[in-house]
Amino acid sequence: MRPNRAGMKAFAAAVLCATVLGSAAPDPFDEPPRNLGETLLRDDFERDQATGWAFTDASAWRIAKDPQDGDRVLELFGVSKYEPKVRSPLNIALAEGKEFGAFDLRVKVRSTVKDYGHRDLCLIFGYVDPSHFYYVHMAKEADPHAHSVFLVNGEPRVSIAETRTKGVEWTDGWHEVRLVREPESGLVEFYFDDLQKPIMTAHDKTFANGRIGLGSFDDKGMFDDLVVKPGGAGARRP
């Protein structure tokens, strides 16, 4: 069952108010526990326009209402008219104005296409330019071009995952995912629903910093409740 995001958002607002007033309060995102003041980026998309994001094709994206609870979400609803110079995701929304090194990212994702082997959504990170970045491809079935951590470095994407599962169990509902990046060691960890045990790991130091983003290779989906917090081994492990 999908978590009650409306309730979580209301609780987050209460926590922020308590923080401003100087009283102690728990973080609604309960692992790892941190103060809201340490949040690097937060977006619940509760607005009319998708401001704060840059798209490979803005006509394929919109702010929409979740049919389950009416919350507003960022939706990839169309087919992007975008052709990258090297083989890499076609649908990308990049957070504007910030670059990240070490981070711990959480976001809720929902696939809105019929089930098939390469049914996917993606998380973008370490984005330098359209031909230089990393991405996590979460797909139903793993193969050399699906369900892995990929490096795009001036040539068609290459899988760099050291460990990965056979795929994810996509449903038509929401899933919570987590991406941990530690540039100093090169570590990448990706979690799907179970936020304590990664389903993919990799090590690579090609890009130490870059923008983060949401998207898919060539499918459609929704995103909501993005939170990015400081990373690093000390922040990640109690």
Per-residue pLDDT tens digits for 60-93: 999 999 988 889 999 999 989 999 999 999 999 9
Q: Tokens 């038509």 label which residue?
A: 172
At residue 12, φ and ψ (nearest 5 deg) are: -60, -40
Instruction: Give yes or no for a contact between 81 and 58, defined as CB atoms under 8 angstroms apart.
Output: no
Tokens linked to 85 = 């110079």
ω before 238 within 30° of 0 (cis)?
no
Rounded distance, CA 147 to CA 117, Å? 10
Rounded distance, CA 119 to CA 117, Å? 6
Question: In order of start, what are the domains of the chain with their CATH numbers?
Answer: 34-236 (2.60.120.200)
The pLDDT of 185-205, averaged and rounded, is: 97
Greatest Cα pair distance in the chain: 52
Strand, helix or coil for residue 10: helix
More confident residue, 143 or 28: 143
| Of 197, 91, 75, the residue nearest 135 (C-alpha) | 91
Q: How far is CA 207 from CA 54, 128, 129, 204, in A?
A: 20, 8, 11, 8
pLDDT band at 155 (very low <50, low <70, confident <90, very high): very high
Q: Is 232 left (phi over 0), alpha (psi -120 to 50) or beta?
A: left
ω before 32 within 30° of 0 (cis)?
yes
Least confident of 93-97, 216-220, 231-235: 231-235
Rounded distance, CA 180 to CA 93, Å? 19
The pLDDT of 16-24, averaged and rounded, is: 35
Whether residue 25 has pLDDT greater than 80: no
The pLDDT of 11-40, averaged and rounded, is: 45
**Single-letter code of the amino acid located at 84:** P
